[in-house]
Structures are given as C-alpha cells and as structure tokens.
Structure 1
C-alpha cells in the first residue's frame, strides 16, 4: 500500500470521526430551543471575585444592581488588589445595603490563587444558591438572575450559562476569540445535554453552596491556580444535577482581550486544567481536537500531492457542511451569526494556536490567575 493511499484512508477515518462528533454530540444542541423558566425567586448570593478591577467595577456594578430580582445579595471579594478595587467596593457597599465586601489579604501560601479568595467569598455569603460572574462582565438583561435561578430545582443544583464577548468591528482577533467561545459553549452545552457535563465558565455559572461544601470546596485542586469553574464542575456534575441556561436574557457580556499575547496567556491558563479532567472527558475531548488537527494536516497534504483530489474535496465539503450546520445553529442561538461564514478559516487559526499553547504549556506552566 502506497503512502498517499494510507494518508487517504486515514483522512476518511478522521472525517468520519469528526462527522460522528458533530452529528451525535453537537447537532442535538444546535437544534435545541432555549426554554425560559421564571419560577419563584429563590434568595441568591452573587459572588464577584476581583483583582485590580477598579474601573470595571465602577462601570459594570450598576448594571448588576438594577437586576429585576426580589432577593439577592452581592458579595464583592477583593483578592489582594493593589489598585483602588477595595475603595470602589466599599463605596458601593456604603450606598447599597445588599452589598457585602470581603477583603482578602496577601497570603504567602495562597498568593495568586483565585480559589482561596472565592472560598472566603462563598463562606461569607448568606444564601444557599450562588451565582458567579466576573468584574468585567455585564448582564445581557435585567432578568439575568431570574433566568439563571429559574433552572434550580430539587434535582438541578448546577446551572451552566453562556458568557459572551463584546463584538469589535474590523478585528480578526475579536472574531477568533468569539469563535473559540462559541465552540467551547457548543461543546460543554452538548456534553451536558447528554449527561457528560465536564465544565462551566466562571463568567456565568451558578450552583448551590451545599454542593460546594459537600465536595470540600476546591481542596482537591487548590494547588492548581486555574480551574475554579471547570475543574470544580468536572468533579461535582453528574448526569442529572446540571441544567442549561442559554436564553438571550441570561447571557453575560465581557470585554475581550485586545492583543494576541494577552489572549494567549489567558488560554494557556484555561487549557492547563484539561489534563485534570475525568478520564472519559479527556478521551472524548482529546479525540475531537486530535481529529480536528489531523483533518487539516491530511486535507492539505492530499491536496498538495494531488491524490484523488476530487474525493478529497468531496470529503472536505461534507465535513464543512455538517460543521456549518452544527456551528451555525448554535451561533444563531448565541447571537454570533457573523462568525458562521468564517468558521473554516477561524477554525484553522484556532487549531494552530491551540497546538502552540499545548507545546508552550509542556515547557512551562502559567502560575497566576492575574
């Protein structure tokens, strides 16, 4: 058997695996309709952990304070900031009786560890139902808390939300960041829908305090600087305790990074936790990313050598059509339709970046959350 023929058969196998992933895992979420569940409003503790976020807090806290929700407190956690973050928090607290401030002092043992700061914030909260977001996030509506909390029930103790990034005109980096965000959401929502929840995003996440303490908090991975959202959810989620919330009103919107360097550092921290996921999640996610990379490598190689190019083009087209359907339905749901036509190009850039990040993390690990 010749090398080109071996490559071609490998290419067919890779395309087949990709199609199975998109059709079995992701297409089912793509066509799932968002359901609005507005129930009796349970008391909520909203926790925001901030490190050097004075300006973002000044700008974004007013949008949180006007939430149309009957009973919620805001726990602001100052994680050893050296700007005016603590002063801004105290100013808001003096004017709003539902704001509580937790000031985390510098600790040699836990320096640079967001999980320690979050743990103190959770302990200071007074309600059992917790919602988490970041200082640079803005709720997409005044009903954000109502939509998230409406998914809690006797069976559902975790609610996964969607954290979008603001659109910037004429910015390829912005499109790449938003494409990666949609692809990540497509996967964690799809897996959760199939009872295989493996992560959530701290920009828009909710769970019960009881779940946190029954798991001994972040103790099992406290030494890992990242993972306060995905590693914790990977530990405590099961096939029946997780709800999905992706109504437009339930989104949060963050300011994206403005440089490739800053975004790459952020992605390095996020990707560094994947090796600690449960084995079944690592295998499923690893196979998907590996076949994504091999798809492009084999497709380009076969087109260059011209081996049965018409069949190669046919398989490429088939895979792109199925990807466009799965990604397109999800992008429409998450209000990211401008990304659909660019999906193949953005995917190629993203895979190349992820490969470079993987190699960089093998050489050195990112140390701090900020």
Structure 2
C-alpha cells in the first residue's frame, strides 16, 4: 500500500510539472505589426562548415528584414569555410568576416570566436544561429527581431531538427521538443533558465552588462544556455514561437554521435543556478521513478489503482505535450509520447552516469 501512495505522489508531481508546461502549450501567439526596423546583426559561427555555408548563406541573404548585416565567424577551420565566406562577401557588402586563429589561452573555444564576432558588430541587436542551421522562412529574421523592445533584450527561439526516417530521428526530435517545452514554459512563468544557440537573440548591451561569457569561459559548451541562465530575468526575455521563425538542422544519423553531442550539452547543467538545477533534477527523478514504480505497482494486488494513476498521468501528458507538439510542428511524435519518454529517460540516465566520470570535450 505504501508503494501505491508513493506512486500516486510521484504522479502528482509529474502532473504539477505538466501544468507548468501548459503555460507554453496553451500560449496564444498574437501577430505583431512592426513599423520600425532597427539595424540587426546576424552572427554565424562556423568551424569546418564549408558545405553548409554554401547552402545556407543564400538563405540568410534572402531574409526580408530591410536593415541587417551578416557576421560570419571562421573559427580556425581547416576546410574551405573561409574561402566560401570570402566568395559570398565579394558580392554582398552586408557580409563581414571574422577570421579566428587559435591561441594558447582560448584554444578551440567557440566562446572566444563568438566574442570576436560580437565585438565586430556595430549594432545593438544580435541574432544568432549555427552554420548547420537554416531558417524556416524568409521572415525568420524579421519575426525574431520584432520581439526586441526597450525591456525585452533576450529572445528565445526554437531550433528544430529535420524530419527523417528512423527511430533515432524521432528520439532526437522528441528530446528537442521536451527541452523547448521546458525552457519556454519556465521563461513564461518568469523563471528563464536556458536557450539554444541555433535560434537565439540578445542585445550587445545585455552581453556586455553580463560580461559576456567570462564566468564560464573555460567551459567548452554553454555559449547559449549558460549565458541565458546568467543573463535572463523575468522581465527581459521574449519568446518567439511562430513556425516561420523556427530554424532547422540536420540531425545526427548515428546514436553514438548524438549521445556524444548530448554529453557535451548536459555537462553544462551543473553550472545552472541552484534553483534551476533543483527543479530540473526533480523533474528527471520523478519521471524515472514514475516508470519504475508503474512497473512495480502493476505486479502487485493494487494493480487496478496503479493502472488508474498511470492512465490519469498519461492523459495529462498527452493533452499538454501533445498541444505543444502541434505548436512546434512535431505532430508525428504525439502517438508514442510515453514510449519516447521512457527511452529518453534511460538514455539520459546513461549519459549522466557517463558524464560523471569524463572531462568536457571541446567544440568541434
């Protein structure tokens, strides 16, 4: 009987988180009419991304925002990235190139490269993406920039992954979906904790007021989430959830490469503010306990009550996460949400255990 009570308590905590997530799931996006277009800098950092640059620079050039420049950062690439940048720059005076060479103090540091790119910009409003990302539409830059105001200095966008065949693709997109649901929901609740560099914007004023990446400059990852965790407040963050303003990336095709990427990303969470670490840890632990206890309780004489709790929790999950999935154009994930969640929990647990005994890897 005690096991049943514990299972019920864990399920209630789960549902409390889902009600928090409903702040995003049921958020209505109102179209915003923009009469002014202050200058914006689009900043892209590339390391050995020649092929992606060839494909994506034209898409950035085609953005319908009337007043922007493009700062391309070549982060010590050993391929043709710099040549590709220079070829495009010859025919477009909006393109500025920052050619970064490694030094002993900041060897292979993306944060160092981004710092040089930000310093090159003469504009206060900065929009960031990655070289392997492309915008969902020519309105991407306009919509992201429209979220800025005198009070809103940091804009959180959604960086999606392309839909491709295979189970791994669905897991990658489900993990991306759940991460977005969390950081959008926390921000909407006045407690922002992270964003993704694939689709992010902030002002140079905020960057310099936060002293850039100095508090975590020696950590290879975290140019996006650690900066947001430090700089974001309840009042200075805006959300950009319009589908036309999404960015898309090509996902990893091998599980090992994806888990290696996730190890690097998850390693930064230990540097979040204590309240965020606590809330995220409770969420993960309750999800883990929920499925472990669900299996255990269904093997006891109280299985009928346990089944009722299980169904109730899954119903809440389907309603709220399903709504968020539709909002983020991930409808094909809805049917098997519990299955993807269970697989992701096991994968994350193995990554956390692995990370506890490994050093952070550098950005490649």
| TM-score bracket for this pair, using the shorter chain length | over 0.9
Contact 1:15 1:295 in 2 (8 A): yes
Q: 1:68 aligns with which of 64, 67, 73?
A: 64
Find the counterpart in structure 2 of residue 262 from structure 1.
Answer: 257
Q: Which residue of 2 aligns with 1:11?
A: 7
Worse overlay, 100-109 or 186-195: 100-109
The number of aligned residues is 363
Give 1:154-193 correspondences, 5 Å limit.
154-169=150-165, 171-193=166-188
| Ranges in structure 2 where 5+ consecutive residues have no aligned partner | none
Distance in 2, matches of 1:28 and 1:120, equals 37
Q: TM-score, normalised by structure 1?
A: 0.97
Q: Is 2:307 the partner of 1:313?
A: yes
> 1:214: Cα distance to partner?
1.1
Conserved in 2, the CA contact under 8 Å of 1:60 and 1:138?
yes
Counterpart for residue 51 of structure 2:
55
Cα shift readout 1:245-286 (whole Å, capped 9, x = no counterpart):
100111011111111011101101110000111111111111
Q: What is the rounded CA distance, in whole Å, between the counterparts of 1:173 and 1:261 in structure 2?
A: 11
Shift of residue 322, structure 1, vs aligned partner? 0.4
- Residue 35 (structure 1) shift: 2.5
**In structure 1, C-alpha distance between the alignment counterparts of 2:38 and 2:264, rounded to whole Å:** 34
Q: Which residue of 2 aligns with 1:339?
A: 333
* Local SS of the residue matching 1:103: strand
Q: Secondary structure at the match of 1:33?
A: coil
2:26 corresponds to:
31
Q: 1:326 aligns with which of 320, 326, 337?
A: 320
Aligned equivalent of 1:245:
240
CA apart distance, 1:220: 0.4
Give the C-alpha shift of residue 36 in structure 1. Answer: 2.5
Q: What's 2:228 paired with?
A: 233
**Alpha-carbon distance change, 251 to 38 in structure 1, aligned in 2, over 3 angstroms:** farther
Q: What root-mean-square deviation, in Å, do the aligned CA atoms of Structure 1 and Structure 2 show?
A: 0.9
Shift of 1:163: 0.6
Contact 1:38 1:147 in 2 (8 A): no
Match 1:100 to one of 78, 91, 96: 96
Question: Is residue 80 of structure 1 aligned with residue 41 of structure 2?
Answer: no
CA drift at 1:306: 2.6
1:35–1:247 CA contact under 8 A, matched in 2: no
Unaligned runs of 5+ in 1: none
Task: Supply the distance in 2 between the matched residues of 1:336 and 1:135 (Cα, whole angstroms).
Answer: 23
CA distance in 1, matches of 2:359, 2:296: 33
Aligned to 1:204: 199
Q: What is the DSSP-based 3-state SS (H/G/I as helix, E as strand, rest coil) of the residue aligned with 2:264?
A: helix
Distance 2:292 2:340 in 1: 15
* Structure 1 runs, 4 residues or longer, greater than 6 Å off: none
Q: 1:20-64 CA deviation, whole Å, 9 max, x = no partner?
A: 1111x1112111112322422111001000101000000111111
- Aligned equivalents of 2:238, 2:23: Cα separation in 1: 16
CA contact (8 A) 1:130 1:206 kept: yes
Once residues 307 and 268 of structure 1 are traced to their aligned partners in structure 2, the CA distance between those partners, rounded to angstroms, is 40
Inter-partner Cα distance in structure 1 for 2:154 and 2:313:
34
> What TM-score, normalized to structure 2?
0.98
Q: How does 1:285-296 map onto structure 2 within 5 Å?
A: 285-296=280-291
Matched, 1:222 2:248: no
